[in-house]
Amino acid sequence: MIIKTSIDQRGPITQEELEMLEKAKNLPIVFDEDSPELTEEELKGFHRVSEESRLERNKQTVTLRLSPQALRKARSLGKGYTSVLSRILEGALNDNDVIRHYL
């Protein structure tokens, strides 16, 4: 029997979700053709993504001069606007057409 549920990741975890996770922890693992049990060799191939990409995600502090208009628009994005600016900048730098346009 398959029971499908989801947890809302946008807010704090609810008591109901905690109880659901606690019950799931005690359920037996059932292997089948879609999810077979992994061999020791296959398990050795896994590694923590968080450790590997930690350096890539590690942000650095820089000083950046913005026009008053750009700063006003950025601040209008609300709390966390600097993270949004970082993602916008990264997206723009990954697009060669955008780079060529502003050179």
Amino acid code (one letter) for 32: D
What is the reported pLDDT for 9? 74
User: pLDDT (tens digit, 9 = 90+) per residue, 9-35?
Assistant: 777 888 988 888 888 888 888 888 888
- For residue 43, pLDDT over 70 is answered with yes
| Whether pTM exceeds 0.75 | no
Residue of 74, 78, 79 lying closest to 64 (CA atoms): 74
CA–CA dist 56, 66 (Å, integer): 25
DSSP letter assigned to residue 38? P
For tokens 């950046």, the residue is: 64
User: pLDDT (tens digit, 9 = 90+) per residue, 50-99?
Assistant: 666 677 777 888 999 999 999 999 999 999 999 999 999 999 999 999 99
Confidence label for 1 from pLDDT (cuts 50, 70 and 90): low
